[in-house]
Amino acid sequence: MFLRYRQLNTLIKSYNCVPSRIKYLSKEEIERLFLCIKNPRDKALFGLTYLYGLRLSEALFLKPSHIDLENKKILIHRLKGGIGGERPLFVTAEKLIRKYLKKRLDTGEDLFTSRQGNISRGFSSFSSNMPKKQVLTSSIQSIL
pLDDT tens profile 39-96: 999 999 999 999 998 988 889 899 999 999 999 999 998 878 778 889 999 999 999 9
Q: Can you point out the beta strands (E) in 4-91?
A: 67-68, 73-76, 85-88
* 30: containing domain: 24-143
Count of structural domains within the chain:
1
Record the pTM.
0.68
- Whether the per-residue pLDDT at 16 is higher than 60: the answer is no
Q: Give the domain CATH number at 37.
A: 1.10.443.10
On whether residue 2 sits in a domain, the answer given is no
On whether residue 13 sits in a domain, the answer given is no
On whether residue 79 sits in a domain, the answer given is yes
Closest CA to 31 of 43, 41, 21, 45: 43
Express as a percent the part of the chain with pLDDT over 90.
34
- Whether the per-residue pLDDT at 21 is higher than 90: the answer is no
Q: Tell me, what's the pLDDT at 1? A: 45
Q: Can you point out the beta strands (E) in the chain?
A: 67-68, 73-76, 85-88, 113-114, 117-118
CA–CA gap between residue 69 and residue 80 (Å, rounded) = 27
On whether residue 131 sits in a domain, the answer given is yes
Highest mean pLDDT: which range of 22-31, 102-111, 132-141: 102-111
Q: Sorting pLDDT into bands at 50, 70 and 90, what band is 13?
A: low
- Whether the per-residue pLDDT at 10 is higher than 90: the answer is no
Q: Tell me, what's the pLDDT at 12? A: 57
Q: Tell me, what's the pLDDT at 19? A: 57
Q: Tell me, what's the pLDDT at 133? A: 44
On whether residue 117 sits in a domain, the answer given is yes
CA–CA gap between residue 17 and residue 19 (Å, rounded) = 6
Average pLDDT, rounded, for the chain: 78
Q: Tell me, what's the pLDDT at 7? A: 60
On whether residue 77 sits in a domain, the answer given is yes
- Whether the per-residue pLDDT at 124 is higher than 70: the answer is no
On whether residue 129 sits in a domain, the answer given is yes
